[in-house]
Structure 1
Amino acid sequence: MPEEFFSIAEPVRYEGPETDRTLAFRWYDPDRMVLGRRMEEHLRFAVCYWHSFTWPGGDPFGGQTLLRPWFGDTMEKARLKADVAFEMFRLLGVPFFTFHDRDIAPEAESLAESNRNVREIADLFGKKMESASVRLLWGTANLFSNRRYMAGAATNPDPEVFAYAAGQVKNALEVTHELGGANYVLWGGREGYETLLNTDLKRELNQLGRFLSMVVEHKEKIGFKGTILIEPKPQEPTKHQYDFDVGTIYGMLQAFGLEDRVKINIEQNHAILAGHSFEHEIALAAALGIFGSIDINRGDYQSGWDTDQFAMNVPEMALALYEILKAGGFTTGGLNFDAKIRRQSIDPDDLLIAHIGSMDAIARALLAAADMMEKGDLKSFVEERYSGWESDFGRSILGGGESLESLAAQVAEKDLRPQPKSGKQEFLEMLVDRHLGV
């Protein structure tokens, strides 16, 4: 059955920009060397189990449009889903995949039975991974779909819900560790509020901080060497979420002494919903020392909500990848396709086409970003713009050697009359276009 679901049996190959075949890579050549590393090592693509194999194609006004033979809450269906998933990993040649616990196995009446279901499918994953080249980028627990989490998980007003979520995360973290996962992600889908009228903000923030600390403590107890990641999201489904954006999460991590133990998993569409650009959130995370991984997708700029479309915009991706390269590239992180095909894209091969198209767009963007790094014209401009701070005077200010009085005296003594210099935004945008081949 798995080998019959898609129209091809041989893996998708790189055929170059001139190919007109749909099921072939035009730009993504995993072995191509870029800035001293293989393209595959730079991008570290991962297929997202949730969107690719679990989403039924519904929206707020319509039900299921995708018909999959593995849909159903049985372990037999879960095993079939795993077979098809690993077949797709093989066809695409991706190095990683990701999952929520609820993606891979059905929830049962009790936590113990639900966790056993997850472990049974995880054991199946382990056997499949012995002969496959794909590895686990990250695992996580779904703490938002079940009605028990309607008021949050860690931030729930009921400590029994908090405890249930802790038991779920414990199992998912241990399974991720046993499968050799590179990271574990926490996405607080409902860690927020819908109205302040029934919310104790201080209490809920303290609960969230304690929950995060417990996750880090358990990671160290079991010897998990991967990175703990938090994914920012500003709103939807809740009115306001505590993990609003990179800056908000950094402040929260500092408040609980976790800024050196937890990093950030940034999603493009979430950055836009928070009122930022994708590259801003990456640059800020890098500046704060908490850049970890990426959920790669895009939103629809007209709709204003989380549409989770496959990333196909090369200029946008080039700016994001430029910031990633400036930050030194990924360590444990990667580019996870937290994206779903459109609800009208009902053919099985549409799953392959979406990934191929996005992998090609991102690969093309990587080449442009690498060109920006190699030419260094953007970097040189920024260095020149801030060069005054590298002088003795600038260093003295930042080093604490000056006061308001001493600076005021120097301005008067030297008759300083500084004049503004052009920021040359249009020139820099023109340079970016040239790196893109425009």
Structure 2
Amino acid sequence: MKTFFPEVSAPIAYEGPDSKNPLAFKYYDANRIVGNKTMAEHLRIAVAYWHTFVGNGGDPFGAPAYERTWDTGSTALERAEHRARAAFEFFTKLGVNFYCFHDRDISPEGANASEYVKNMEHMTGLLKALQNDTGVKLLWGTSNLTANPRYTHGAATNPDPAVMACAALQVKTTMDATKELGGVNYVFWGGREGYETLLNTNMQREMEQMARFFHMVVDYAKTTGFTGQLLIEPKPKEPTKHMYDFDAATVLGFLRQYDLIDHFKLNIEANHATLAGHTFDHDLTIASMNGKLGSIDANVGDLLLGWDTDQYALDLETVTKCMLIVLKQGGLNPGGLNFDAKVRRGSIDGLDLFYGHIGSMDAFARGLLTAQRILDDDLLPKFVRDRYAGYDDGLGKRIMDGKESLTSLAEWAMNHEEPQRRSGRQEMLENLLQSYF
């Protein structure tokens, strides 16, 4: 059988922080116990099929730059088969347990709807066989409802119901494939669910259409027995100017308004959070504090560029803050860390895919270890608890228990001295955080 990554003869091994081997983990030790779970169980790392095996190095200003050994074959279906075999060779040599896909990553779209379904069924069978051979599992599947020109004006929000029907076919087919492959999540990312101008847009109707579509998804999952987690991925600005799933708070508001809040959680992507004008940990916190952080797309963007650059996350402060939130909520299972990242345009070799994943897996491993130390030391968490201790008893507790009114508080303020101002100690806390690195 053809070998697609001959430079890597065995699974990537953990060699420790002193290793200079670029094809070795310095911090990611899958079986190391951190708290009450192994590192692999905490992180649940998945490889993104699209960037890693479908990405061609093209960008808004240039044509494809990669020549992949798996992009060969006389038909689109044959090329998809080679791509799948290359993917599972990569998964096993990298030593990860999960992968994620869009329908159009794993299977050719075909000339018509029947051919699309037939191709998906064929490729689902191949992927299932490869999963059985390797033990690698599907973390989640999703449908690409943005690339085809039919979705120029949206999918579920499109003014033409025929387009929504096409989107329904894709979602149904991909959900069936995800269930068949044992996927434990299904993700929706809005792609073009938004608008460019209100001159031709009925926003209320489009929001109602999107809600109806999601209710149909929930009904279908119940009908077919799909018990995986349903996730929505907030996605601003790309490519539509005004996106209906702009950030975590926007999506949560939508879910509550349309009686969907009990059926969906969120898949938070770092690069999308920053495009929305937030930090990664901000959107993670919004999702987690609402009990809705289901999974994470692990990447970062270039803050000097205005699009979704999907780079490997290497910044220790960023990944540590991420893992603090994950640990505080007790983990991500059945979600995980999907490495929705790609090598740079100039990194043209297949070997570069290993370097990118190794570096970011090491970064998240360090982030996990650092976050656990922070929680064990309890210096940062204690400072925050102490800062709000006034609400644990006395006046503050009476306020939160509903035993005070605006009038009674006004009377209290009239009879007491001006409150003592207290420093937020931001610089001290930033120094403390840095000391862990």
Structure 1 residues 400-415: aligned runs within 5 Å: 400-413=402-415, 415=416
Task: Quote the offset at 1:194 in angstroms.
Answer: 1.3
Structure-2 residue corresponding to 1:168: 170
Superposed CA offset, 1:300-358 (max 9, x none): 11112210111111121111111111122112111101111111101110111111111
Structure 2 distance, partners of 1:2, 1:343, is 26
**DSSP 3-state at the match of 1:139:** strand
Supply the AA of the counterpart residue of 2:97: P
Supply the AA of the counterpart residue of 1:30: A
Pair 1:9-2:6 in alignment: no
Inter-CA distance 194–6: structure 2 relative to 1 (3 Å threshold) = farther
Instruction: Say which of 227, 234, 237 aligns to 2:236.
Output: 234
Structure 2 distance, partners of 1:5, 1:41, is 27
Structure-2 residue corresponding to 1:430: 431
**DSSP 3-state at the match of 1:238:** coil
Superposed CA offset, 1:350-405 (max 9, x none): 11111111111111111111111111111100110000111142222122222111
Whether contact under 8 Å (2:236, 2:275) holds in the other structure is yes
Whether contact under 8 Å (2:233, 2:267) holds in the other structure is yes
**DSSP 3-state at the match of 1:5:** coil
Superposed CA offset, 1:396-434 (max 9, x none): 212222211122222334x24212211101111111111
The total of aligned residue pairs comes to: 435
Structure 2 distance, partners of 1:399, 1:4, is 63
Structure 2 distance, partners of 1:312, 1:409, is 53
Structure 2 distance, partners of 1:80, 1:406, is 73
Structure 2 distance, partners of 1:308, 1:15, is 28
Structure-2 residue corresponding to 1:296: 298
Task: Quote the offset at 1:223 in angstroms.
Answer: 1.1
Pair 1:68-2:68 in alignment: yes
Structure-2 residue corresponding to 1:388: 390
**DSSP 3-state at the match of 2:14:** coil
Supply the AA of the counterpart residue of 1:237: P
Structure 1 residues 157-306: aligned runs within 5 Å: 157-306=159-308
Whether contact under 8 Å (1:266, 1:294) holds in the other structure is yes
Whether contact under 8 Å (2:310, 2:341) holds in the other structure is yes
Instruction: Say which of 310, 322, 330 aligns to 1:328.
Output: 330
Task: Quote the offset at 1:129 in angstroms.
Answer: 1.1
Structure-1 residue corresponding to 2:319: 317
Structure 1 distance, partners of 2:385, 2:122, is 54
Structure 1 distance, partners of 2:386, 2:283, is 24
Superposed CA offset, 1:44-86 (max 9, x none): 0000000001111111121010112333761111111111000
Structure 1 distance, partners of 2:113, 2:124, is 16
Structure 1 distance, partners of 2:387, 2:65, is 54
Structure-1 residue corresponding to 2:32: 32
Structure 1 distance, partners of 2:401, 2:117, is 54
What TM-score does the superposition give when structure 2 sets the normalisation length?
0.97
Supply the AA of the counterpart residue of 2:61: F
Structure 1 distance, partners of 2:330, 2:94, is 26
Percent of aligned pairs with the same amino acid: 50
Structure 2 distance, partners of 1:216, 1:377, is 43
What TM-score does the superposition give when structure 1 sets the normalisation length?
0.97
Task: Quote the offset at 1:24 in angstroms.
Answer: 0.7
Structure 1 residues 38-57: aligned runs within 5 Å: 38-57=38-57
Whether contact under 8 Å (1:235, 1:244) holds in the other structure is yes
Inter-CA distance 317–185: structure 2 relative to 1 (3 Å threshold) = same
Inter-CA distance 54–201: structure 2 relative to 1 (3 Å threshold) = same
Structure 1 distance, partners of 2:346, 2:392, is 56
Whether contact under 8 Å (1:245, 1:274) holds in the other structure is yes
Where do 5+ consecutive residues of structure 1 fail to align? none
Superposed CA offset, 1:140-179 (max 9, x none): 1110010001111011010000011011101111111111
Structure 2 distance, partners of 1:279, 1:161, is 36
**DSSP 3-state at the match of 1:142:** coil
Task: Quote the offset at 1:226 in angstroms.
Answer: 1.0
Structure 2 distance, partners of 1:28, 1:61, is 36
